[in-house]
C-alpha cells in the first residue's frame, strides 16, 4: 500500500467495515484480472485487501484434475469441489473477522443463483458487506485471446501442447456453461462488466469504498499494451527544484538517444511479433510540466508522437532541502535527517513533500494509466517513477524510497492478468 490517506485504530478505512467482493462468471472472462487489479488498487489506497482464489485452493489440494471433474453430473467431484470452495470462503471470512483484513476478494465462478444466495446469507450473518462482480463476454475473440495468453500457462497445463491445452480448457468452459445463470436477483448488490469495460451495469451499490471500486472498474480493460519508464535527462542545475533548469548538453544527447533506442526497439518488436494488436497500437509520451521533462520528450514530438504534460507528474518537492548535498543536509537539518532515516516514506523536510504526499497526488494519473489502451512512455523524475512502479508491482510503501530507477535504463512494463512483468534495457550512452 502507498497512498493511505489516514490511519484508524481498527485499520479499516472509509467507515466501510468489512467488505467481500464475489466474482461471478464463466472461465476466461477476466475475473482473475479484475480480482488482481482491484487488489492492487485497494492496497494502494491503504485498504487491507487479499484475494482468495478457489482455483488456487483446488490446485493446492488436488493438483491438476481431468475435465470430467468439472462435469455437473459428476456428483462425487462436485461435492469435493464445493467443499474446497467453502473452505476458501471460510478462510476469507476468518481473515476479515479476525485476521486484520478489510476487503476480501472471493475469486471463483459462482455461476448459480443458489450458490450466490448461499454466499450472500453467510456473509451478511457475519456483518460483512457483499458485492458481486459478474464478468460477461459475448466476443469469442476476447475469450480465445484470454485462454491463449493466460489460462494455458496456468499450473493446470504445465507441459501441455498449447493447442491441446486450448481445446481442453474450451471443453472445461462448456462444462460450466451447463449450469451458468447470470445474476437476475436485483436484491443483491452487483456490478456487471460486459467485455471487461465495454459496458458496466450497477445495482444497489452503496458506500464510499464500494463507489471507489465501481469507478475503478469503469477504467479497467484487458487490452494488451506496454508501459515504459524513463528518467528525465540531466539539467544544467540538476540539484535545484526551484530553479527548474533546462537540459544540459548531456541531457539533450540523452533525450535523442532515448528516442532513437525506443523507436528502434518498438519497430523490432512489432516486426518480430507480426500480430495486428502490436501493429495497431500507437505510442503516447507523458511528462511533467518541468523544463527538463518537456525537453527530454521533444525528440518524440518532432517525430509526430503525441506528448502530454501532467502537472501531477512533477517530482517530489524537497522544500528547504532543495539544492543541498547530503553533507549540507546533515549540517543544516541534523534532526530531520534522523527522522528521514526512521520513516523515509512519510517524512517531510521543512516545506517539503513526503513520498506519501506524492503517492496521493499521483492517483489521478494512475487512474488515467489504467484507462489508457495504447502504449505509454512516462518521462519523469525518479521519485515519481518509484511511486508508479510500486503501484504497478504492488510493492509496500516501505520499499518505495529504495526502489532503483537508473537514469541510463529504459524500463518496459507489460501488464497481465496475474501481475506486471518488466524488462530493463540499458541505453547506449
Cell matching residue 363: 492517483
d(CA 319, CA 354): 10
Q: Look at residue 152 and tell me whether its pLDDT is greater than 70.
A: no
The mean per-residue pLDDT over the stretch 143-170 comes to 79
User: Please, which pLDDT band fits residue 62 given cuts at 50, 70 and 90?
Assistant: confident
Place of cell 491503504: 46
The mean per-residue pLDDT over the stretch 142-158 comes to 75
Secondary structure of residue 202 in the 3-state scheme: strand
Secondary structure of residue 53 in the 3-state scheme: strand
The alpha carbons of the chain give a radius of gyration, in whole angstroms, of 24
- Classify domain 227-317+353-426 at the CATH class level: alpha beta
Within the chain, all domains assigned CATH 3.40.50.1240 are found at 227-317+353-426
- H/E segment holding residue 104: strand 103-107
Best CA proximity match to 377, nearest among 320, 300, 314: 300
Lowest mean pLDDT among 92-101, 203-212, 229-238, 277-286: 277-286
Q: What is the pLDDT of residues 338-393, one digit of tens each?
A: 999 999 999 999 999 999 999 999 999 999 999 999 999 999 999 999 999 999 99
Which pairs from 268-274 meet CB under 8 Å and 24+ separation? Answer: none
Q: What is the pLDDT of residues 243-265, one digit of tens each?
A: 999 999 999 999 999 999 999 99
Q: Look at residue 13 and tell me whether its pLDDT is greater than 80.
A: no
277 vs 44, 224, 326, CA distance in Å? 30, 8, 48
Q: What pLDDT is stored for residue 155 in this prediction? A: 72
Place of cell 518521462: 379
d(CA 403, CA 428): 22
The mean per-residue pLDDT over the stretch 190-200 comes to 91
CA dihedral for 238, 241, 246, 251, sign (positive or negative): positive
Neighbours of 314 (CB within 10 A): 22
- Whether residue 61 contacts residue 162, with contact meaning beta carbons closer than 8 Å, is answered with no
Within the chain, all domains assigned CATH 3.40.50.300 are found at 18-219
d(CA 51, CA 207): 21
Lowest mean pLDDT among 15-19, 39-43, 236-240, 270-274: 270-274
d(CA 372, CA 390): 18
d(CA 248, CA 321): 22
The mean per-residue pLDDT over the stretch 40-49 comes to 91
What separation, in Å, do the N-terminal and C-terminal C-alpha atoms of the chain show? 35
Higher pLDDT, 12 or 356: 356
132 vs 82, 182, 230, 315, 322, CA distance in Å? 19, 11, 39, 39, 49
Q: What is the pLDDT of residues 165-184, one digit of tens each?
A: 888 888 888 888 888 999 99
Q: Look at residue 10 and tell me whether its pLDDT is greater than 60.
A: no
Neighbouring residues of 197: CB distance < 8 A, sequence distance ≥ 6: 217, 218, 219, 220, 221, 222
Q: Look at residue 39 and tell me whether its pLDDT is greater than 70.
A: yes
Q: What pLDDT is stored for residue 181 in this prediction? A: 97
Q: Look at residue 419 and tell me whether its pLDDT is greater than 90.
A: no
- H/E segment holding residue 76: helix 75-98
Q: What's the length of the chain?
A: 429
Neighbouring residues of 140: CB distance < 8 A, sequence distance ≥ 6: none
- Classify domain 18-219 at the CATH class level: alpha beta
d(CA 63, CA 157): 11
Neighbours of 38 (CB within 10 A): 21
Mean pLDDT of the residues in the chain? 91
- Whether residue 319 contacts residue 297, with contact meaning beta carbons closer than 8 Å, is answered with no
Chain centre distance of CA 214: 15
Higher pLDDT, 275 or 91: 91
Amino acid at each position: 500500500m502507498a497512498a493511505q490517506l489516514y490511519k484508524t485504530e481498527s485499520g479499516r478505512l472509509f467507515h466501510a467495515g468489512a467488505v467481500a467482493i464475489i466474482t461471478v462468471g464463466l472461465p476466461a472472462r477476466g475475473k482473475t484480472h479484475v480480482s488482481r487489479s482491484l487488489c492492487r488498487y485497494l492496497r494502494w489506497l491503504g485498504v487491507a485487501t487479499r484475494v482468495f482464489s478457489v482455483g488456487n485452493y483446488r490446485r493446492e489440494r488436488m493438483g491438476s484434475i481431468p475435465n470430467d471433474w468439472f462435469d455437473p453430473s459428476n456428483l462425487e467431484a462436485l461435492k469435493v469441489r464445493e467443499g474446497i470452495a467453502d473452505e476458501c470462503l471460510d478462510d476469507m471470512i476468518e481473515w476479515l473477522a479476525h485476521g486484520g483484513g478489510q476487503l476480501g476478494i472471493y475469486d471463483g465462478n459462482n455461476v448459480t443463483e443458489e450458490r450466490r444466495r448461499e454466499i450472500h446469507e453467510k456473509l451478511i450473518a457475519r456483518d460483512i458487506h457483499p458485492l458481486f462482480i459478474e464478468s460477461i463476454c459475448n466476443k469469442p475473440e476476447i475469450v480465445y485471446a484470454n485462454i491463449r495468453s493466460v489460462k494455458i500457462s496456468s499450473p493446470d497445463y504445465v507441459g501441455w501442447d498449447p493447442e491441446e491445452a486450448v481445446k481442453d480448457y474450451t471443453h472445461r468452459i462448456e462444462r460450466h456453461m451447463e449450469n451458468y445463470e447470470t445474476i437476475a436477483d436485483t436484491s443483491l448488490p452487483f456490478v456487471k462488466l460486459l467485455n471487461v469495460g465495454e459496458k458496466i451495469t450497477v445495482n444497489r451499490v452503496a458506500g464510499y469504498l464500494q463507489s471507489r471500486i465501481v469507478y475503478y472498474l469503469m477504467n479497467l480493460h484487458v487490452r494488451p499494451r506496454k508501459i515504459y519508464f524513463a528518467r528525465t535527462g540531466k539539467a544544467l542545475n540538476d540539484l535545484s527544484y526551484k530553479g527548474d533548469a533546462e537540459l544540459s548538453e548531456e541531457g539533450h544527447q540523452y533525450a535523442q538517444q532515448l528516442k532513437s533506442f525506443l523507436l528502434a526497439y518498438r519497430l523490432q518488436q512489432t516486426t518480430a511479433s507480426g500480430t495486428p494488436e502490436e501493429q495497431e497500437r500507437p505510442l503516447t509520451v507523458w511528462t511533467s510540466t518541468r523544463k527538463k521533462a518537456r525537453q527530454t520528450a521533444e525528440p518524440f514530438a518532432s517525430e509526430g508522437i503525441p506528448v502530454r504534460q501532467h502537472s501531477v507528474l512533477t517530482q517530489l518537492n524537497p522544500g528547504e532541502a532543495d539544492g543541498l548535498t547530503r553533507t549540507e543536509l546533515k549540517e543544516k537539518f541534523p534532526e530531520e535527517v534522523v527522522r528521514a532515516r526512521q520513516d523515509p516514506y512519510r517524512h517531510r523536510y521543512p516545506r517539503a513533500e513526503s513520498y506519501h504526499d506524492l503517492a496521493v497526488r499521483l492517483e489521478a494519473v494512475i487512474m488515467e494509466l489504467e484507462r489508457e489502451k495504447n502504449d505509454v512512455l512516462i518521462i519523469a523524475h525518479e521519485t515519481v517513477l518509484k511511486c508508479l512502479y510500486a503501484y504497478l508491482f504492488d510493492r509496500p510503501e516501505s520499499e518505495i524510497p529504495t526502489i532503483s530507477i537508473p537514469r541510463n535504463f529504459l524500463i518496459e512494463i507489460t501488464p497481465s492478468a496475474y501481475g506486471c512483468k518488466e524488462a530493463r534495457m540499458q541505453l547506449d550512452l
